A and B are shown apart, each in its own frame.
Chain A
Amino acid sequence: MKKEEHLELYYQMVLIRLVEEQAAQLYQQGKIGGFLHLYIGQEAVSTGLISARQPQDRVITAYRDHGVAINCGLSAREVVAELLGKVTGSSKGKGGSMHMADVNKNFWGGHAIVGAHLPIAAGLALGDQYQKNDGVTICMFGDGATNIGYFHEALNLSKVWNLPVLWVCENNQYGMGTAVERASAVSEIRQKAEGYSIPSSRVDGMDVLAVRKASEEAIAYVRSGKGPYFLEIVTYRFRGHSMGDPERYRKAEEVRQWQENDPIGIYRRYLVDHAIATESELNEVDQRANETTLDAVQFAESSPEPPAEMLFQHIYVDAD
C-alpha cells in the first residue's frame, strides 16, 4: 500500500470518530431525534472492508450506518445533515440516522429492521448475476442478525443460486444488551456459514490492515464466480447500543480493556513505528478531519428544513 492510501484510511477512521462524537453532542442538545447508534470503536471494520471494494461493488448495511456511509464516499456534510433531518441530508431528511444511502456511490442503505436487509442483499447480487455485471454485493450485519430467520433464508438462497455476495458479520459481542453467547447457539458466528457450505474466515476487527487484507481476499473469491463468502470481523463498540443505553450488561473494566485496543490508536502506532508517517503528519490529518467535521456541523445546522410539499413526494415513482 502506498503512503497516501494509508493516510486516507487513517483519515476516514478519524473522521468517522469525530463525526460520531459530534453526533453524540448534537443528540444530547436535542438536535437529533429518534435513535442514534454510534460506530465508535468499530471504525476499522467498515474502513478496511470498503477500502477493498471496486466502484461496481454494492454495499448494504444495518442501522449503524454513519461510518459505512462515510467510507462509501458520502460527505460528512450530508451525513450530519441527515442526522439533523435537513433537506441537504443524504435521504433529504426523510430517513434519519438509520436510513442513509447514496445509490450513485453504490451505498444501498442503512436498514433498520434487524436482518431484513440480508434477503435484499441476496437480491442485489441476483440482479448483478442476472445482468452479468461483475459486481460483488457486500452485506454487513451485526452478530444479533444471525439469529433471525432472514439470515438463514438469505444465506441458503445465496448458496443455492451461487450469488456474488460477501456476507460480513460485524461481531461486536452484543446484540443490543445481550451477549453473543446468551443469544447465539455458537459464539464463533462464522460456524453458521458452514451449515450452508459457504467458506468463511474470522479476522480481528480492531486492525484495519488485517480487515483490508481479509476483505480483498474475500471479495476476490466472490468476484471469481465461486459464490458467496462469509467474513466474521470481531470488534467492539465503545459506546452503548444507542444513546439511550443504560449499559447494565457489561462491566466498565471490559469496556476499558477494549478501549486500550482502540483501532485508531493501533493504526497510528503502526504508521509511526513502520516509518510510514510521522506524528506531525498524522496530527495534520487529525486536524483536517476535525475541520471537515466542524464544517459538516456548521453546514447541517445552517441547512434548510425540508419544504412542506416534500411530505407527499416520493411515495410513488409513477405519478397518478
Chain B
Amino acid sequence: MARITMREAISQALWEEMERDPSVFILGEEVGVWGGTYAVTKGFYDHFGPERVRDTPIAEAAIIGGAIGAALTGTRPVAELMTINFAFSAMDHIVNEAAKLHYMFGGQFVLPMVIRAVGGGGRQLGATHSQTPDAVFAHFPGLKVVAPGTPEDAKGLLKAAIRSNDPVLFIEHATLYQVRGEVPEGDYVIPLGKSKVQRPGKDVTIITYSKMLELSTKAADQLAKEGIEAEIVDLRSLRPLDMGPVLESFKKTNRAVIVEEGWRSYGVGSEVAARIYEEAFDYVDAPIQRVAQKEVPLPYNRTLEQMALPQIEDIVKAVKEVL
C-alpha cells in the first residue's frame, strides 16, 4: 500500500488507463499545456501528446457533445469540466443526450464516456462556483453518478468508470485533492454502484459520501471519545444507488444521520431517508436526521460560507439527536 493524495490517485487512474487502452483520451479546458486547472493531468500532454490530451475552447456543450459523438464511434473519451458548475452550460448534452441515447434508440447507441467534474464549496469562490448539485444529476436514469471520498476509491472507481460502457459523471471534491490515503499497489477496479462501510460501529449509522465522509469521520472520532460508536456507510455512487449496506447497518443500529454537502431540499438525504422509511420502517427507533447545506446561494465571505456549509459539530449534534 502506498500513501498518496486524492489528486495523485485520480491522476494515476487516468494515466494507467491511457497506457492500457489507446482508445482512451482526454478533452477539456486546460487539460493539456496547462496541465489541468487542478493539476490532475500534469505531465500528460508531454507524454501522451496533443491528440490524446486535447485542450478545448471554453465551450462546455462542445466538450460534452464532442465526447458523446466520439464515444459513439467506439473511443473512450474522458471529458473534464473545470467545475461542475459549468456542467449547466452542457446540461442538455449531459441529461438530454448522454443519459438518453442508449435507451431512446432501442439500445443501438453505446456511449463509453466519463465526465470528470470538480464540485463543492469551501474555497470562497462565491455562489456560482461553489455548488454541490450532485443530486440534480443523480435524478436522471441513464446516467451513472460517482463521487468518491477516499484516494483508494477514487482510483478504483475512476478506472471502472473509464472501462464502463455507460456515461459516467465522476464528481471530485475540490477540497479533497490534498487528502492522503492508502492506495493498493498495481491495477485494481472498484465496481460502480456499490456502497461501502468505511468505519464499523454499533450505535448509529452515518450515511454520507465525498467530502462529507471526511467530516463524518472526524465527527465519529469525537463521538468515540464519548463512547458512541458510529458506523459510516459511504455511498460512493449516487446512481445506481446501493442501499444494501445502508439498510444492513440501519437494521443493526436503528438510527441514522445522513450527511451531504448539497442543499437539504430534494437532496441525497431526502432520497436515502425515504428509502430507509420505505424498506426498514419497522427498525426505526428515532426520526432520521439530515445534515446538509443551508438553503442559500453560497456567500463569498469566509465566515458566512462556513456557516452555510455542514460542520463537524452539526454531525455530532445530529447523532446525539437520534440517540
Contacts and interface: CB of A to CB of B under 8 A. Distances in A.
B161 to A, nearest CB: 11
A150 B104 contact: no
Contact of B64 (A103, A119, A121, A127): A119
B44 interface: no
Interface stretch (A23-31, A105-113, A258-266): A105-113
B99 to A, nearest CB: 9
A311 to B, nearest CB: 10
A316 B102 contact: yes
Q: Is the interface of A mostly helix, strand, loop or mixed?
A: mixed
B208 to A, nearest CB: 22
B73 interface: yes
Size range of the interface on A?
Answer: 35 or more
A189 B92 CA distance: 24
B7 interface: no
Size range of the interface on B?
Answer: 35 or more
A261 B184 CA distance: 71
A313 B75 contact: no
A120 B62 contact: no
B303 interface: no
A282 B255 CA distance: 79
B110 A317 contact: yes
A125 B69 contact: yes
Interface in B59-86: 59, 61-62, 64-75, 77
B69 A124 contact: yes
Nearest to B59: A153
B146 to A, nearest CB: 13
A314 interface: yes
Given A94-B104, A99-B104, A101-B105, A124 B96 contact: no
Interface stretch (A41-49, A154-162, A174-182): A154-162
Interface in B23-73: 23, 25, 51, 54, 56-57, 59, 61-62, 64-73
A318 B72 contact: no
A99 to B, nearest CB: 5
Nearest to B112: A317
Contacts, number: 148
A97 interface: no
A95 B104 contact: yes
A226 B256 CA distance: 62
B108 A101 contact: yes
A127 B108 CA distance: 17
A234 B140 CA distance: 39
A91 B104 contact: yes
Contacts of B186: none
A119 B108 contact: no
Nearest to A133: B73
B201 interface: no
B92 A316 contact: no
A123 B59 CA distance: 13
Nearest to A122: B66
Contacts of B103: 94, 314-315
Interface in A119-152: 119-128, 130-131, 133, 137, 149-150
Interface in A256-288: none
B65 A123 contact: yes
B96 A116 contact: yes
Nearest to B193: A320
B105 A320 contact: no
B70 A313 contact: no
A58 to B, nearest CB: 8
Contacts of A130: 25, 51, 70, 73, 75
Interface of B: 23, 25, 51, 54, 56-57, 59, 61-62, 64-75, 77, 92-93, 96-97, 101-110, 112, 141-142, 144, 164-166, 193, 240
11 contacts: A113-B96, A116-B93, A120-B69, A121-B69, A122-B65, A123-B66, A127-B75, A153-B57, A153-B61, A157-B57, A317-B166
Interface of A: 89-95, 99, 101-103, 108-111, 113, 116-128, 130-131, 133, 137, 149-150, 153-154, 156-157, 160-161, 313-318, 320
Given A95-B105, A123-B68, 4 more contacts: A119-B66, A124-B72, A156-B62, A320-B240
